[in-house]
Amino acid sequence: MEARKSVQNLAETIHSLLGLKAHFTSSWVKSVCDIIGHLPSEGPSNDLKAENSKTSTVSFSNKEDDLASAISKIKDELAALTANINQLNIQRRQVLNDFLDLKGNIRVFCRIRPVALGENFGSFKPIVAMDSSYVLLRLSDNKSRCYSFDKVFLPGSSQDEVFSEVKPVIKSALDGYNACIFAYGQTGTGKTFTMEGSPDLPGVVPRAIEALFREAVDCNHAFLFTFSMLEIYMGNLKDLLITQPRKAMDPMPLRLSIKTDPKGGIEIDNLVAFQVSDFNQALRLYRLGCQSRSTASTNCNTSSSRSHSLIRLSITSFDAPERQRETNKVWFIDLGGSERVLKTKAWGRRLEEGKAINLSLSALGDVINALQRKKFHVPYRNSKLTQVLKDSLGGSSKTLMLVHVSPKDEDLCETICSLNFATRARSIHLGTEDSEKRDQRGVTMMNLQQKIKIIEEERRNIKRNIEKLNEKLDTLAKRGTISSQELNAPHLTSELPQPNLESLRNKTSDVPIGQMSLLPRFMRPTICSRRKSGIDKQNSEDKQEFHARRRRPLSHRAESVTFPVKCKSDHSSEFDTWRSSCLLAFNMKGSADIETEYSQDTSECDIEVVVFPEQETSRGNSINQNAHISHSQQYGNRLESKYSSTRFLDVENWLHLHKKEPFIITNSSGGKRVLATPIPEKKCRSYGQKKESKLKDETKDTCSFKINKIVYHKMLNKQVDVEGFRRSVLEEVINKPQPLFEDCLNKDSRSGSGCLLHKPDGDLTIQTQDFVHGPSIIDNECDTSFMLRDLDFSIGNPKEEPGISFSSLELEPHCQQVPTGTDVEDGMGENLDTSSQSWMTGRERGPQKLKSHMALFMVNPHPEELTRTYVRSQEYAQNRGICHLLKQKIQIVYASALLGLGFQKLGFEHDFFYGLML
């Protein structure tokens, strides 16, 4: 009876709504009826069937009937409201997209950096903001140029103001559009400040992530967010969420390689992607990634980013038909600072870094310009950066470029370069319109904005109603005898606001898998939620249905699938991580991973394309498809086995482990291993400083450091281009090398006296402690320490520079595999977080004890950065049977240093140090 009544009610409600709402199509009604027909036995329609087939043994009281009918009415109302809200979502997306289209899919903002306290402003202001769209660049007293932007942020602009302009793009990302938000500009102009911000003044990235989660909660769909972070350092991709190995024996991290699917979607093979469930998790991962960035001190910025850092947030929603695509990506890109070599006076590695940054920036400019001009050929392949972003630049994707400029007159040249870049990127495709058209556009945009507001207000009202109905339903359910299962029927809850994957999964898990395909899409659990709940495992016999459930051929879904990889810890517990991959990650060719090469050496051919059997020829893709065709059955099995071996990564676990123990994860294909090492808390700066001062006190009497075996007279006679006081020091060096070395090197480097540097071309210069980087060699037999870089070396007394921290960040990518700190004596033992610790270790044992040691050090000049020291004792090497190799290599390095040769000249490859270590 009850069941018949509720069905009748539903039918009546639908019928009446049909007259009112055009979107209630007959197929929709049919699908709802179908659901009822296929719901498990608790459902009303099954009751109805049961009643028809046999006499009902259950009799309901009138009271119960009324209750059930009230509940049923509420359910119907909820369904109607949900449909209504979906309709509004579609409208809102359309209007927002029209609005952004009018604004331009590629928008360029300009932010002028404020003058810092105590900074020399210069005699005249070269850059003046005329209004919120124009800046005037004064080239000289009577010459100036005007540049137009979509928005100009004055020096006093707050982070809030900047984010308010970014917000529409974030909203549209939730609507399924890909988006890229770039920070571009001269080094030291505030790119990182804009993107990352500070704890008090959070930048675009944390704000955007927060907004995404907030808006997602506000939407009536379930979303799945995955977070990844990588950097492009000198054309190489590096996963910032996986730390580097600690020992030479430790496995190398998996190489990241860019892959493209037949539809043009880009995936980065082996890039770790974490499923994040809230803002805090994402923020903590973001901080973890920021700590691993390659930064260094340059003439222009004490903490200069030497790479492009890219944060990717993938958003998936399988049940939001109004979204542009199921999975889309938002990229936040803090570009490396553009710099003029003449100004930065960079050389060696800094120079190479600067060159790589400039090249990829100009490649990015070319791509954006080509897109703006709607050119047929877009030169994506010219850099790794543009290859990675290929599917998120152009088309319907939204691009925001925040160009940063300096207010100082001494930076005029760089400012011109940045503004020219911005002009190219903007391409002023809107600039050609006359003022009438521009006004018209302005009016249309205002109308659209108004429309968005009205729609959002309407949505809010409906949501309030939904909430009220839900409360009502809860109360009725408590009063009545209705089973919780009935209340949890998916058509009631899956569309409710504040979606929660967990609840979604639970709600749908009651439905037999065979009936899943009968449910409308919005009611079905996502692959992920099913996996998490273990449905797939439990129903392995239902593989057929599992595949049948897919709405599209596999090849079509390639861009949106994130594959999990089973991970194992060496510490007896198991962890799972998400390894973000498109279907290409299965890599039918086996070990055909393509190593990331320096960007300029690569072409589109480097991007591996896997073609699946049912794939149609993709747009503009001329790659030989037959070469990669694989058997669909085989593919299907692989897919299934991947899924069945899945568990979700607990981000908290990951973050926790990064603070504590190192662990190794393996991917399910076996063999390759990635080592994640603990990352100390950011507070290590203060820790390092504390140690440093303690160290200074302890070691005043052990400062002298003789140089007996190396004579530099000849080199020192070379022309030295340094300022007054340094020149006089050097002259002294030429006359009396030994005392000067002591004098110069034994001073506290932090006070600025610095170290002596010998460039490969023979030039000598003194630089302050900040520059010191690269591997260094200590050999107490000749009381000398070397700090060697790939093209140069310096001589210094490490004991006198306790504050210098050692890190792999300064090295060639492969050198980064060099183990992190271990105790000098036993080679293993304690981890040394700071160099000061390691120096202390050495000092505690005294010079005599150190005598038998040869050790390698990696220096990281960045005082804020995590500091790790790499020390290996000769004894330890001997124990491990590699002493011979170690000695030989160190001798070569010595010879190289003495001859003034760099490593590269001797033909040393990146992995030179790797071989030295255990």
Ligand X SMILES: Nc1ncnc2c1ncn2[C@@H]1O[C@H](COP(=O)(O)OP(=O)(O)OP(=O)(O)O)[C@@H](O)[C@H]1O
| Residue stretches of the annotated binding site for ATP | 185-192
Judged by CB under 6 A, the stretch of 185-193, 566-574, 693-701, 820-828 that binds ligand X is 185-193
Is residue 294 near ligand X by the rule CB under 6 A?
no
Site for ligand X in 330-359 (CB under 6 A): 336-337
- Among residues 510, 501, 460, 502, the alpha carbon closest in space to that of 316 is found at 501
Burial class (CB in 10 A: 0-12, 13-18, 19+), 123: exposed
Q: Which is nearer to ligand X, 165 or 486 (CB)?
A: 165
Q: Which is nearer to ligand X, 113 or 691 (CB)?
A: 113
Judged by CB under 6 A, the stretch of 190-198, 348-356, 668-676, 777-785 that binds ligand X is 190-198
Q: Which are the contacts of 392, defined by CB distance < 8 A and separation ≥ 6?
A: 178, 179, 180, 266, 329, 331
Smallest distance from ligand X to CB 865, Å: 13
The 10 Å Cβ neighbour count of residue 726 is: 18
Residue 180 near residue 399, CB atoms below 8 Å? yes
- Among residues 238, 265, 273, the alpha carbon closest in space to that of 252 is found at 238
DSSP 519: S
Site for ligand X in 737-776 (CB under 6 A): none
Give the relative orientation of helices 651-659 and 279-291 as an angle to the nearest 10 degrees. 30
Q: Which is nearer to ligand X, 240 or 567 (CB)?
A: 240
Q: Which is nearer to ligand X, 204 or 248 (CB)?
A: 204
The edge-to-edge listing of strands for the beta sheet with 574-580 is 271-272, 574-580, 563-568
Site for ligand X in 402-441 (CB under 6 A): 404
The span from the CA of 701 to the CA of 621, in Å, is 70
The span from the CA of 290 to the CA of 303, in Å, is 12
Give the relative orientation of helices 412-426 and 348-372 as an angle to the nearest 10 degrees. 30
Site for ligand X in 812-851 (CB under 6 A): none
Smallest distance from ligand X to CB 493, Å: 45
Smallest distance from ligand X to CB 132, Å: 16
Q: Which is nearer to ligand X, 291 or 581 (CB)?
A: 291
The span from the CA of 402 to the CA of 185, in Å, is 8
User: In residues, how long is the chain?
Assistant: 918
Q: What mask, x for binding ligand X by CB under 6 A, covers residues 112 to 131?
A: -xx-----------------
Smallest distance from ligand X to CB 154, Å: 10
Judged by CB under 6 A, the stretch of 181-189, 270-278, 428-436, 895-903 that binds ligand X is 181-189
The span from the CA of 296 to the CA of 288, in Å, is 18
- The SS3 of residue 23 is coil
Smallest distance from ligand X to CB 194, Å: 7
The 10 Å Cβ neighbour count of residue 8 is: 12
Q: What mask, x for binding ligand X by CB under 6 A, covers residues 303 to 332?
A: xxx---------------------------
Judged by CB under 6 A, the stretch of 187-195, 260-268, 534-542, 655-663 that binds ligand X is 187-195
The span from the CA of 215 to the CA of 223, in Å, is 10
The span from the CA of 774 to the CA of 790, in Å, is 8
**For residue 16, what are its two tokens?**
């009446």
**For residue 239, what are its two tokens?**
């996963």
Is residue 185 near ligand X by the rule CB under 6 A?
yes
* R_g of the chain, CA atoms, integer Å: 32
Q: Which are the contacts of 685, defined by CB distance < 8 A and separation ≥ 6?
A: 863, 864
Q: Answer left, alpha or beta for residue 858, where phi above 0 means left and psi between -120 and 50 means alpha.
A: beta
Judged by CB under 6 A, the stretch of 299-307, 394-402, 419-427, 849-857 that binds ligand X is 299-307
DSSP H helix total and E strand total for the chain: 31, 28
Q: Which of 6, 82, 105, 192 binds ligand X (CB under 6 A)?
A: 192
Q: Which is nearer to ligand X, 273 or 422 (CB)?
A: 422
Q: Which is nearer to ligand X, 192 or 874 (CB)?
A: 192
Judged by CB under 6 A, the stretch of 188-196, 632-640, 733-741, 807-815 that binds ligand X is 188-196
The residue to which tokens 């880009």 are assigned:
266
Judged by CB under 6 A, the stretch of 189-197, 481-489, 549-557, 614-622 that binds ligand X is 189-197
Smallest distance from ligand X to CB 160, Å: 12
**For residue 571, what are its two tokens?**
């510490």
At residue 510, φ and ψ (nearest 5 deg) are: -75, -20
Q: Which of 75, 93, 191, 325 binds ligand X (CB under 6 A)?
A: 191
Q: Which are the contacts of 832, defined by CB distance < 8 A and separation ≥ 6?
A: 820, 821, 822, 823, 838, 841, 868, 869, 871
Smallest distance from ligand X to CB 365, Å: 16
Smallest distance from ligand X to CB 157, Å: 7
Distances (CA, A) of 666 to 243, 257, 270, 289, 816: 14, 18, 11, 20, 20
Q: Which is nearer to ligand X, 662 or 861 (CB)?
A: 861
Q: Which is nearer to ligand X, 10 or 183 (CB)?
A: 183
Smallest distance from ligand X to CB 405, Å: 10
Residue 232 near residue 257, CB atoms below 8 Å? no
Smallest distance from ligand X to CB 343, Å: 12
Q: Which is nearer to ligand X, 127 or 466 (CB)?
A: 127
Is residue 188 near ligand X by the rule CB under 6 A?
yes
Judged by CB under 6 A, the stretch of 144-152, 266-274, 298-306, 642-650 that binds ligand X is 298-306
- Site for ligand X (CB under 6 A): how many residues? 17
Smallest distance from ligand X to CB 218, Å: 30
Smallest distance from ligand X to CB 362, Å: 16
Q: Which is nearer to ligand X, 229 or 916 (CB)?
A: 229
Q: Which is nearer to ligand X, 185 or 253 (CB)?
A: 185
List, as residue ranges, the binding site: 185-192
Residue 256 near residue 230, CB atoms below 8 Å? yes
Q: Which is nearer to ligand X, 190 or 863 (CB)?
A: 190
The edge-to-edge listing of strands for the beta sheet with 608-609 is 266-269, 257-260, 608-609
Judged by CB under 6 A, the stretch of 191-199, 266-274, 342-350, 483-491 that binds ligand X is 191-199
**Contact residues for ligand X (CB under 6 A)?**
113-114, 185, 187-193, 301, 303-305, 336-337, 404
